Chains A and B, each alone.
Chain A
Amino acid sequence: MSETSKIDIRGLRKSFGSNEVLKNISLDVGKGGVVALIGPSGSGKSTLLRCINLLVVPDGGSVRVGDTHFQFGQGTKPPDVKTLAKFRATTGMVFQHFNLFPHMTTLQNVMEGPVTVRRMAKADAEKLARAQLAKVGLAEKADQYPATLSGGQKQRVAIARALAMEPDVMLFDEATSALDPELVGEVLNVMQRLASEGMTMVIVTHEIAFAREVADRVVFMRDGIVVEEGPSRQVIDTPREAATRAFLSHFHRTGALPLANATP
């Protein structure tokens, strides 16, 4: 499996002070695979996601994305800032609170990565950024500042910003949790399309119906360990573990995805 996998995580450990958040986690994501991480808050799923692009540096274990491999723990040197930056440029991340740059227009937000990190010429970066904005249905918002956009629009800009770096994998950290219910659909639509285009994706989400529909695999975490993992419909429809069943009982697991008001 690990020859074809895009993301390969082995024996990952992370503690914040005395709080052990990840206890020996392993995760494989194949090329073009979509994995949903679900679980109660405090289960470590966001930390795991942040370890994939090393926004959180693990205490032990190994992380491989594509051809880049990192080993952590005793006897290893933590990667330096240049190495980290270069590595993160190959992974895209979308945050719960969007984290758009408020002092830049939508277009400038999307151009920022290509121009500053990849040293792309401004004109080329602008072309690329406009194409990405069009892809998320926001071409006409290019010259507006983020403050003037709705939550759903902000998150779509954030997705365009990540995609402009042409990443190998996309990481979504509760991308719809901060949105008003009627705006969730437009963001999920964009994510679904991205998945169908073959993007490798890891998604931390509470949208169980979305995970069931769009992810190939679901990983259920609790207290820093993987409790259950498998094909998404199998885990969500017929969970084996009692903890998974208890968690899933809080959600509607099936049914149509929330529809976008304005289909991008």
Chain B
Amino acid sequence: MYQWDFGILWSYRWLFLNGLGVTVGFTVVIVVCGLLFGLLGAFGSLSRFAGVRLVALAFIEAFRCTPILVQLIWFYYALPILAGVEMTPITASALALSLYGGSFYSEIIRGGIVSIDSGQSEAGAALGMTPGQTMRRIVLPQAIKRMIPALMNQSIIQFKNTSLVSVLAVPDLVYQSQVAAHDSYRPLETYTAVAVAYAAILIPLTIIVRRGEKRLAVSE
């Protein structure tokens, strides 16, 4: 029978906290940037111009249909050779994860927008609104409510996907725990603690969002 000993992890607390800080900070960056890419992708794929639609679609499918681990490695190792673009591991992984998340956000945002009944845009147009005004005032406020659960879900995946940046030696929580595990010879305790840390952040977050959804639903 395995003898658990979590006490040993206490001496690595600063390492873990450091890693956790990097993980959370990284998530904030890739969620914000990902949402920006997502907005661009969504509006691009709904554009009146066929050329813009094609570019947006190419972006979405390129990042949606390839593994994120391959993208990370490709951005860090292949771009310098192919395009002469040198990036630090942090820049490369932030960019790859933002674009990867952005491709999924694009589809969520586009789906939310097209799910709003066309009568809503017609009513806006009949009042004399421009398509931009109709989008901002009428369609988006309704669409965002429908997008929130899916956006939240994708952001949770993004948070956990940050664990992959350890392959580029970005010192996130997983990378630091690898260090701790090798040093302490206690991988079971280390990775169990890491799993608990991820869940401890995500579970309260999901509860907050669920409450928010309920409050939004009241005004429907």
Q: Which A residues are closer than 8 A to B by beta carbons?
A: 53, 55, 81-82, 84-93, 95, 97, 99-103, 112-113, 116-118, 145, 147, 158, 161-162, 165
Which residue in chain B gives the minimum CB-CB distance to A91?
B126
B142 CB within 8 Å of chain A: yes
Contacts of A92 in B (CB 8 A): 126
Contacts of B117 in A (CB 8 A): 99
A99 touches B128 (CB 8 A): no
Which residue in chain A gives the minimum CB-CB distance to B48?
A81
Q: Tell which of A89, A100, A118, A145 touches B219, judged by Cβ atoms closer than 8 Å.
A: A145
Which residue in chain B gives the minimum CB-CB distance to A85?
B130
Q: Which B residues are closer than 8 A to A by beta carbons?
A: 117, 119-120, 122-123, 125-131, 133, 137-138, 141-142, 145, 219-220
Q: A99-B119, A112-B137 given as contacts; is B220 within 8 A of A147 (CB)?
A: yes
A103 touches B123 (CB 8 A): no
A92–B119 alpha-carbon span in the complex (Å): 15
A93–B127 alpha-carbon span in the complex (Å): 8
Q: Tell which of B123, B125, B130 touches A101, judged by Cβ atoms closer than 8 Å.
A: B123
Which residue in chain A gives the minimum CB-CB distance to B121?
A99
Known: A88-B127, A89-B128. 13 other contacts (CB 8 A): A55-B125, A81-B130, A82-B130, A85-B133, A88-B126, A88-B128, A90-B128, A95-B126, A99-B117, A118-B128, A145-B219, A161-B127, A165-B127
Contacts of A90 in B (CB 8 A): 128
A-B pairs with beta carbons under 8 Å apart, 11 shown: A85-B130, A89-B127, A89-B128, A91-B126, A95-B122, A99-B123, A101-B138, A112-B127, A118-B128, A145-B220, A165-B128
Q: Tell which of B122, B128, B131, B137 touches A86, judged by Cβ atoms closer than 8 Å.
A: B128
Contacts of A84 in B (CB 8 A): 125
Contacts of B133 in A (CB 8 A): 85, 116-117
Contacts of A99 in B (CB 8 A): 117, 119-120, 122-123
